[in-house]
Structures are given as C-alpha cells and as structure tokens.
A = this chain, B = another copy of it.
C-alpha cells in the first residue's frame, strides 16, 4: 500500500479522559462546575430549527460584535474559532512560518509541540525554573514566534503582565501569542497591551470561565492586520466553522456579565478553601490563579493517589512526564465535589 508513504504522520494530542458515569466526580479536564449563563437556555428554547438548513454567517458577525463590545476593541480585532485549540492551530499555521524555532516553556499546554510537529514548525522548549516560573531572559534569543500560556497550564502560575510585556517588547519581529485560557480566575489579561504592540495575539476560550466546553468557542484578539491574516488563513481552511446555534449561544453567554462574575467568583472562593485543605493534608502546590490546583503530596506518589481516586470514581489528571510526574492537576469543582475529594484523600492518606 504505497499511498501510505505519502501520509503526513502525526502523533496526536491525547485529551483527558471523558468518562460518563452517573455518579462520577469529574475534576480532570478543567471544566466549569456550574452551568452556562441562563440566556443559553433561552436560546435553545427560542431557536428556530428550520433555519439550520441555511449556512451560518461565515464571519460569525454577531459573536464578533458581542466580544468586541465586551473587551472594548474593534470588531476587526476579533477572531473566533471552534474552541481555543482551533484558534491556536490557525495562529500557529499563519504566524509561525519563518523556519526559525518558535519558543515555549518546557512545562506547558501539551498541544503546542503537537501543532509544531503537524505543521513542521521547528521549536525549542525553554525550561521553567525550579519553582515553575518563566525565566524571562530566555526569551531574548532569535526565534520564529513565541507562545506562552498565562496562567500557565498545568501549573496554574500567573506571571505579571509586566513580564509578558517585556517578552512582547523584546520580540517585535515575532508574533507573541499569550494563551489566556485561565486568565479569568484571578489573573490579569494582556488585552490592554494590544494598544501598544502589534505583534501580540491574545487567545481566550469559552470552555472554562464561561462554562461552555461543550459548545466549542475560542477567540483571539489582536491588531486588525494580524486578525486579517488569521482570517485569510481561516477562510482558506474552512469558511463556515461556527454553526448557527453556537453563534447565538456564545452571544448570550458573553452578554451576561453578572452571571459570569458570580460563577468565576464561586470557583475562586472554592479554590482558595481547597488550597488550605490540601495543605493540611500534606500537599504542596504553586499558587494557582486558574480553575485547577497542581499539587504534589509530601509522601504519597501522585500515580497511586490518581489510581485510588479513579477507583472511587473521582477523576483528576496525571501527567506521566519529566519534571511533573509527582503532581496531580485537580480541577476546582463545586464545594460538594471538593469535599468528596478531600474526604477521599483523607481516607487514602
């Protein structure tokens, strides 16, 4: 079968398990434990299914406008896609095209090297320091682009905007992507820097703070030129990515500022409580500003805790990788879910 010789071989990203058991406690893929905004329910009630016969607006204009309004930027500064993975993949394809290696931390979102391999972009990972912090001076070398999640995943560590600004300023010849999937849980966005730097692309998602992982909406903000290039690539790949329902659902989710603040506030409050409880149980962890805690126990191996929790239908995430194989990434769920978690941990330990 010699057609096989010409196949682009890819080593795919492995997403977290998506078990579907009736009484499981799912703390493994950083979903929001609360439902989407009430307006989302109304969309489903009022949506005319007959309109599904028609193509959606390829620009997803209504959603673009809602996001532009929310973040106080121009419509021409907003790009939307099928989850932030779609947005990031298109950005890698569009901007990381120089032949020079792109830079990102050694411990980070594990999709970056997968995209680089898929698109044959050379890359270099830069080791975080012993505390999992970015060494900003590392980002002063020649490169074909930079991508940094802030807060970082899976550590949850937030780097001050001033650190990000230095990196953006030091690299005017590269597009710098700041992946802010978790920024709403107590970080600070780089969006205000868009006014000063034309090489900055900020990427966010509806999957975490907006409780819509099941909907697949991500977006990027940047200067109009940069967004224009991204749209050209997107329209060379697939014109109609955002379906009619998703556009409407996304609009209603963005508009409800009060519900958004409440939801995020509850997650943060729970996270801070859980930090104390985990510490009391003998865990240590970097100070998370995300909706998860990256924790290791002083004695018990992470892999054993992971397996025990799983046997009790509590799912957390374990990465069998260098430097982080002692850690568990635990999503912040509801208070009740977190009590069940700490109770189960207490029993095991």
| Residue ranges of A at the interface with B (Cβ–Cβ < 8 Å) | 1-15, 18, 26, 29, 31-36, 40-41, 44, 47, 49-58, 82-83, 85-86, 89, 93-98, 114-115, 117-118, 144-145, 172-175, 198-199, 207, 211-216, 225, 229, 231-246, 249
Contacts and interface: CB of A to CB of B under 8 A. Distances in A.
8 contacts: A3-B173, A8-B97, A18-B58, A52-B213, A85-B239, A213-B240, A216-B243, A245-B245
A239 B50 CA distance: 29
Contacts of A215: 52, 243-245
Contacts of A56: 18, 213-214, 216
A89 B232 contact: no
Nearest to A88: B238
B49 A40 contact: yes
A245 B52 CA distance: 12
Contact of A232 (B2, B12, B53, B174): B12
Q: Closest 5 interchain pairs by CB?
A: A12-B235, A214-B244, A6-B98, A10-B236, A35-B50
B52 A233 contact: no
A22 to B, nearest CB: 13
A94 B3 CA distance: 11
Contacts of A242: 216
